[in-house]
Chain A
Amino acid sequence: GESVGLHLPTLSVQEGDNSIINCAYSNSASDYFIWYKQESGKGPQFIIDIRSNMDKRQGQRVTVLLNKTVKHLSLQIAATQPGDSAVYFCAENTGGFKTIFGAGTRLFVKA
């Protein structure tokens, strides 16, 4: 069945450190993965995406890693800042019009 889940519900990091948020998925047919950031009172905001034919993609301060062998996705945030504090969702898409979101990880950045 379709299932996207997260290993840790909360993550607390020191400002300036790197953050790693993990996600497991179970649908082998998924070919597109997205990370969203949701700040309090706002809608999800696209961060970065990756297709299944890739294993790594970098953006500005963020990197997404995809391990299809173990169906694992991670988001790395370099030099974490207070503004990075939010809930982060991984999401998957099998190529259709339906995107399945994971449960979310809350990131706390300590000053």
Chain B
Amino acid sequence: EPEVTQTPSHQVTQMGQEVILRCVPISNHLYFYWYRQILGQKVEFLVSFYNNEISEKSEIFDDQFSVERPDGSNFTLKIRSTKLEDSAMYFCASSARTDGFEAFFGQGTRLTVV
């Protein structure tokens, strides 16, 4: 069964450092998303990406965040200068959106900012 894969599974970084979280969406999907989940809290939408551009973003997704699809398979989330409050699970998702909004989620990357 096709799946969304994310790397690394756990990233520890020092405050102020840049991090790049990587995702390989399902190959025939066209819509890509990043969500985050602070420990014990709900899943929060960050950004959606379609046709090589951001289609929607939340208030969380400020200038410190950026997304990119550098090639035909990878989808990345970059945080330029990490803060302690960026510590969370980051989930990538993709969907085909042909007749619905069903999104397939990856296993997540746990980001710990120290």
Majority secondary structure of chain B interface residues (helix, strand, loop or mixed):
strand
Distance of A44 Cα from B56 Cα, bound (Å): 20
> How many interface residues does chain B have, given as a range?
20 to 34
B48 touches A98 (CB 8 A): yes
Contact of B100 with A by CB under 8 A: yes
A100 touches B102 (CB 8 A): no
Majority secondary structure of chain A interface residues (helix, strand, loop or mixed):
strand
Q: B104 to chain A: which residues have CB within 8 Å?
A: 46
Distance of A43 Cα from B37 Cα, bound (Å): 10
B91 touches A43 (CB 8 A): yes
Chain A residue at minimum C-beta to C-beta distance from B41: A103
Distance of A100 Cα from B35 Cα, bound (Å): 10
Across the interface, B56 reaches (CB within 8 A) one of A43, A45, A98, namely A98
Smallest distance from the beta carbon of B7 to chain A beta carbons, Å? 14
B108 touches A43 (CB 8 A): yes
Identify the A interface with B (CB < 8 A).
32, 34, 36, 38, 41-46, 49, 89, 91, 93, 96-104
